């Protein structure tokens, strides 16, 4: 739970919706030349309580890129939605929230370029970076990568380089960092106040599938478990996690 407000401030900024913890896996390092191949969003309210999750693989309309890093094979994205098909839902999830990530400027840059490709400019959404928070409030970490910060915070093993695994542990790292006495309230309350006033665009749901069928989501997930350095991670599985139906 977040620390209490400082005297003279409200516990929850008016209009605040909370935080959207995001992670993307991509076909390369450049938002301009490469594409998002997996995206995950973990929603937290303004007190950092879980509100929901969204995750899916995406068809990048080309090679999936470094399989040795993200473990996504070309066959894994067969039948996955294209970014433009999930863009309306992503806008709904992100609207009014602080965008959180570990090295969040990278995730934001990829999302910004993907939306730009379909002609939708993202508004100036406030960002909150757990790498920056860890540098300031997790001095015992051996490094500032997500794995090192998660280990230092005692968060346990997580399936690294899966978008949902990274987003979930980033959400836990956010809770850990803002809960330490050295973290001033404005590190989180300031972005919340800013997010509440940002106007967001809206899009109609995609209708690109035959016969008006809903857009299928293809979710990668691996179970949590004890964090054991050097141990082999369990197999990541693909599941069809429902579909987004078209709007009328």
pLDDT digits (tens, 9 = 90+) for 68-93: 899 999 999 999 999 999 999 999 99
Cβ neighbours, 10 Å, residue 184: 14
Bridge partners of 239? 219
Q: Which is more confident, 20 or 158?
A: 20
pLDDT, residue 235, reads: 57
CB-based contact 56:238 (threshold 8 Å): no
Instruction: Look up residue 246 and give its two tokens.
Output: 């078209």
The whole-angstrom separation of Cα 30 and Cα 47 is 34
The whole-angstrom separation of Cα 106 and Cα 227 is 26
Least confident range of 134-138, 198-202, 229-233: 229-233
Q: What angle do CA 219, 63, 85 make, to 5 degrees?
A: 45
The whole-angstrom separation of Cα 124 and Cα 113 is 14
Cβ neighbours, 10 Å, residue 51: 15
Cβ neighbours, 10 Å, residue 47: 12
CB-based contact 84:59 (threshold 8 Å): no
pLDDT, residue 184, reads: 87
The whole-angstrom separation of Cα 243 and Cα 116 is 24
Instruction: Look up residue 225 and give its two tokens.
Output: 């478990």
The whole-angstrom separation of Cα 31 and Cα 166 is 19
pLDDT digits (tens, 9 = 90+) for 84-123: 999 999 999 999 999 999 999 999 999 999 999 999 999 9
User: Is the pLDDT score of 31 beyond 80?
Assistant: yes
User: Is the pLDDT score of 237 beyond 90?
Assistant: no
Q: 3-state SS of the chain?
A: CCCCCCCCCCCCCCCCCCEEEEEEEECCCCCCCCCEEEEEEEEECCCCCEEEEEEEECCCCCCCCCHHHHCCCHHHHCCCCCHHHHHHHHHHHHCCCEEEECCHHHHHHHHHHHHHHCCCCCCCCCEEEHHHHHHHHCCCCCCCCHHHHHHHCCCCECCCCCHHHHHHHHHHHHHHHHCCCCCCCHHHHHHHHHHHCCCCCCCCCCCCCHHHCCEEEEEEECCCECCCCCCCCCCCEEEEEEEECCCC
C-alpha atoms less than 13 angstroms from C-alpha of 46 in its C-beta half-sphere:
20
């Amino acid at each position: 739970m977040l620390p209490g407000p400082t005297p003279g401030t409200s516990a929850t900024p008016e209009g605040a919706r909370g935080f959207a913890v995001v992670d993307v896996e991509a076909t390369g390092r450049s938002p301009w030349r490469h594409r998002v191949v997996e995206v995950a969003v973990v929603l937290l309210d303004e007190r950092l309580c879980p509100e929901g999750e969204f995750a899916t693989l995406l068809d990048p309309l080309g090679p999936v890129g470094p399989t040795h890093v993200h473990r996504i094979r070309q066959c894994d994205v067969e039948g996955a939605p294209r970014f433009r098909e999930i863009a309306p839902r992503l806008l709904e999830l992100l609207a009014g929230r602080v965008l959180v990530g570990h090295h969040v400027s990278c995730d934001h840059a990829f999302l910004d370029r993907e939306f730009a490709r379909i002609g939708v400019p993202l508004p100036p959404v406030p960002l909150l970076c757990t790498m920056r928070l860890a540098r300031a409030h997790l001095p015992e970490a051996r490094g500032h990568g997500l794995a090192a910060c998660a280990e230092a915070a005692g968060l346990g093993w997580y399936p690294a380089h899966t978008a949902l695994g990274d987003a979930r542990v980033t959400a836990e790292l956010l809770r850990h960092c803002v809960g330490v006495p050295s973290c001033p309230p404005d590190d989180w309350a300031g972005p919340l106040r800013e997010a509440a006033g940002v106007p967001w665009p809206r899009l109609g749901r995609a209708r690109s599938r035959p016969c008006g069928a809903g857009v299928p989501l293809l979710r990668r997930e691996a179970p949590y478990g004890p964090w054991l350095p050097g141990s082999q991670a369990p197999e990541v599985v693909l599941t069809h996690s429902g579909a987004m139906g078209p709007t009328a």
